[in-house]
Amino acid sequence: MRDSSRTKILACTNAVRVNPDVLSDASCFASVQAELKNPPRLPLNYDANLTAAAVYHNNWMVSLSGEPSLGDRADMFGYDWWRIAENVAAGYGSAKSVVSGWLCSSGHRANMFSCSYVDIGIGSDPVARYYTQILACTNAVRVNPDVLSDASCFASVQAELKNPPRLPLNSNANLTAAAVYHNNWMVSYSTMSHQLSGEPSLGNRADMFGYDWWRMAENIAAGYGSAKSVVSGWLCSSGHRANMFSCSYEDIGIGSDPVARYYTQILACTNAVRVNPDVLSDASCFASVQAELKNPPRLPLNFNANLTAAAVYHNNWMVSYSTMSHQLD
């Protein structure tokens, strides 16, 4: 890990989250290893918008006067955040030394190992030796349902929203493309529908935009004037709420047309059988192959770029037909 590029810093950060022993030679390791290993952490998701914000800041570190705040930088690069933190460093010569330095600082370590963050952006200049790591948490209402405590149904549903606690969903570019695609259809047809006439099904749309899915759901809406009112509407509908708060989904794509007021939300679970092979226990071969499926345990595969295309594709159909439907003829 002598390379100090942002790719290597990301790889090293994720490696130490998943297996802290890779930095067992860090000076502080013996005193902090217990907190690093319990609970186990998943790797962070690389996010292009956060990376743009990190690179932007990294370039400013030589001359900081007049730079926007961290939150403003994230907004500037299109990252919708609710909780955000940043680690910076200077003078190190390798990714391993950068991450080791953060590991041995309680505040930086808390950011890097927080279970609240799922996305990451990296900025680095291996020549000037400046490094920026941004971690952020989106989907505020999943993490803290009280942000919608003024929704009409909140008192009656808050218990189910808060238990069990939910992790934020990962913004997935492919899901977003799929959501935007569908949303444009709804705008074109001035109709809210999960499928408009001539439009492919939800699953086919996801396939079309390269999203490898196993379980998927879609929420649509029309006529609302703000993001909060859309989400509040879904919150107060049992079926939409079940989709939005399901612990089965981890990725999300959004399509919207605030002028025509059509909205598409696609939620999906990828690589479920890798994480929990028992989800396919009814497969004819399961008894004979389950041992090899379960050992060693697998993490889900990272695939980042197409459900959104499918959602956008469908949204366009709903717009074209002025109909809200999951599938149009």
DSSP character for 102?
H
Mean pLDDT of 82-99: 75
Question: How many Cα neighbours within 13 Å face the side chain of 141?
Answer: 21
Between the alpha carbon of residue 259 and those of residues 183, 219, 262, 319, the distances in Å are 12, 19, 8, 11
Is residue 4 over pLDDT 60?
no
Is residue 144 over pLDDT 70?
yes
pLDDT tens by residue, 215-226: 788 888 888 777
Report the SS3 class of residue 181.
Answer: helix
* pTM exceeds cut of 0.85: no
* pLDDT score for 132: 62
Per the prediction, the chain carries an average pLDDT of 71
Please check whether the two domains, 3-120 and 130-293, share a CATH topology: yes
Give percent of the chain with pLDDT exceeding 70.
62
Nearest residue to 106 via CA among 54, 166, 28: 28
Q: What is 3-120's CATH number?
A: 3.40.33.10
Which is higher by pLDDT, 147 or 283?
Answer: 147
Residue in this structure with the two tokens 């690589």, named with its chain if needed: 271
Lowest mean pLDDT among 145-149, 203-207, 262-266, 274-278: 274-278
Neighbour count for residue 201 (Cβ, 10 Å):
13
> Quick one: residue 261, left, alpha or beta (phi over 0 = left, psi -120 to 50 = alpha)?
left
> Quick one: residue 139, left, alpha or beta (phi over 0 = left, psi -120 to 50 = alpha)?
left
Q: What is 130-293's CATH number?
A: 3.40.33.10
Q: CA-to-CA distance for 189 and 185, rounded, in angstroms?
A: 6
Q: Quick one: pLDDT band at residue 1, thresholds 50, 70, 90?
A: very low
Mean pLDDT of 139-157: 75
Is residue 289 over pLDDT 80?
no
- Residue ranges per structural domain of the chain: 3-120, 130-293
pLDDT tens by residue, 189-218: 777 777 778 888 888 888 888 887 877 888
Lowest mean pLDDT among 101-105, 106-110, 257-261, 264-268: 264-268
Which is higher by pLDDT, 34 or 123?
Answer: 34
Mean pLDDT of 167-183: 69
Which of 95-104, 136-145, 263-272 tops mean pLDDT? 95-104
